[in-house]
Amino acid sequence: MKCFFLEGKGIIKGEGVDEIPIGSGDAIFIEPREYHQLKNTGTEISPLIYTVTILTDMEGKNASPCY
């Protein structure tokens, strides 16, 4: 999954990872099934865009790790 931050500022935290500051124009990649948490540290709404790739197996059946 990819996450694009359009405006604002915040932090992202993953399992076993320190908090990382994020802000307007940043993009991050999150592995399938990876625990993550986003927190808005600003005073305004921080719009963002998530994109998720749907994976298929060799027979074309949906094998996406997203649930």
Residue 44, class by beta-carbon neighbours within 10 Å (0-12 exposed, 13-18 middle, 19+ buried)? Answer: exposed
pLDDT of 30: 85
pLDDT of 19: 92
Rounded to an integer, what distance in angstroms lies between the CA atom of residue 60 and that of residue 6? 34
The answer to whether residues 51 and 1 touch, using CB atoms and an 8 Å cutoff, is yes
What pTM did the predictor assign? 0.68
Q: Which residues of the chain have pLDDT under 70?
A: 55-67
